[in-house]
């Protein structure tokens, strides 16, 4: 079975003390993950080491970064490289979140560079794609997300693609409380899988976990994750509340 993943994206929220408590509260729920399940905590950079050591002895709980820079190293004040993340034992990194694309001008080409740097540092990228509202309203979302995948990922060989994680996050659903219906999510996830299949074959496409992101909550996770091509969620707001994120973990297939 494909990996089923609940990924918390805390964004720029919580003090260090609140972060420690949130991790403790989630781990105290003692949810035993099966071998095909994974929980990721994508935390702000200053909390990576604390989180890594908190999850160290937990089966299939891992820490993730929310971003890395698209250059290997150099005069980029305030930035963090994939190599730095690797050097502190971070094995996962979100790449191409829509907030990074929108507020920090990240392009598909820059994201391809980040993907390469993550892979070169043994970091599994969680690659985000998804369309803005205007594209959805124009009905061109399928081509839009297919281009995001093609531009940032399709230079990679099949054996690498099968190890990636993709998150489909319709921008109109992020932080808006407006969730895609399970039909909309399934339709798009099926489309994304068929785009990968066209490029790399069905076997590879069937191995890639595709997470849904966009107002996943404790009360809708089960239905969304129940869709055949939805392999869990990338969760913003609801991952900041232990009780809610615990329910979302429990909703994994
Ligand atoms: C996200 O940050 O990736 C996200 C999906 O946020 P929210 O769950 O708050 O919509």
Q: Which pLDDT tens digit goes with each residue over 142-192?
A: 999 999 999 999 999 999 999 999 999 999 988 887 888 999 999 999 999
* Local confidence band at 3 (pLDDT 50, 70, 90 cut-offs): very high
- Closest ligand 1 atom number to CA of residue 239: 8
Residue identified by tokens 């039909």 is 183
Catalytically annotated residue among 106, 169, 189, 247: 169
Catalytically annotated residue among 69, 70, 86, 97: 97
Q: In the CATH hierarchy, which fold is given to the domain comprising 4-250?
A: TIM Barrel (3.20.20)
Residue 148's closest CA among 181, 88, 106, 208?
106
* pLDDT, tens digit, 9 for 90 and up, residues 106-124: 999 999 999 999 999 999 9
* Alpha carbon distance 245, 84 (integer Å): 28
Q: Residue 65 corresponds to which tokens in the numbers above?
A: 């970064």
- Indicate the burial class of 96 (C-beta count within 10 angstroms; 0-12, 13-18, 19 or more): buried
Q: Is 131 a catalytic residue?
A: no
Mean of all residue pLDDT scores within the chain:
97
Q: Is 97 a catalytic residue?
A: yes
- Closest ligand 1 atom number to CA of residue 237: 9
Q: Is the pLDDT of residue 1 over 90?
A: no
pLDDT over 70 percentage in the chain: 100
Q: Is the dihedral of CA 97, 102, 104, 108 positive or negative?
A: positive
Q: Is the pLDDT of residue 198 over 90?
A: yes
Q: Residue 241 corresponds to which tokens in the numbers above?
A: 């509340």
* Alpha carbon distance 37, 221 (integer Å): 15
Residue 246: partners with Cβ closer than 8 Å, 6 or more residues away: 25, 26, 29, 31
Residue 14: partners with Cβ closer than 8 Å, 6 or more residues away: 22, 44, 47, 240
* pLDDT, tens digit, 9 for 90 and up, residues 48-76: 999 999 999 999 999 999 999 999 999 99
Q: Which residues line ligand 1 (CB under 6 A)?
A: 9, 11, 169, 174-175, 213-216, 234-238
């Amino acid at each position: 079975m494909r990996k089923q993943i609940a990924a918390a994206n805390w964004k720029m929220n919580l003090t260090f003390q609140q972060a420690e408590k949130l991790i403790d509260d989630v781990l105290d729920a003692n949810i035993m993950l099966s071998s095909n399940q994974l929980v990721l905590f994508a935390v702000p950079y200053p909390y990576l080491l604390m989180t890594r050591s908190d999850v160290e002895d937990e089966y299939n709980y891992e820490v993730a970064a929310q971003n890395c820079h698209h250059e290997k190293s150099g005069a980029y004040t305030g930035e963090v490289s994939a190599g730095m993340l690797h050097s502190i034992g971070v094995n996962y990194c979100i790449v191409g979140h829509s907030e990074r694309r929108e507020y920090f001008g990240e392009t598909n080409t820059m994201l391809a560079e980040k993907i390469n740097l993550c892979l070169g540092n043994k970091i599994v990228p969680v690659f985000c794609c998804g369309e803005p509202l205007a594209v959805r309203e124009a009905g061109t979302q399928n081509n839009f997300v297919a281009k995001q995948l093609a531009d940032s990922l399709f230079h990679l060989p099949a054996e690498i693609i099968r190890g990636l994680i993709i998150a489909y996050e319709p921008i109109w659903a992020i932080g808006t409380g407006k969730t895609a219906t399970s039909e909309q999510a399934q339709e798009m996830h099926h489309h994304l899988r068929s785009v990968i299949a066209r490029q790399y074959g069905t076997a590879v496409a069937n191995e890639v976990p595709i997470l849904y992101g966009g107002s996943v909550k404790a009360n809708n996770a089960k239905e969304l994750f129940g869709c055949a091509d939805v392999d869990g969620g990338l969760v913003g707001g609801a991952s900041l509340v232990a009780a809610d994120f615990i329910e979302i973990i429990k909703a994994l297939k």
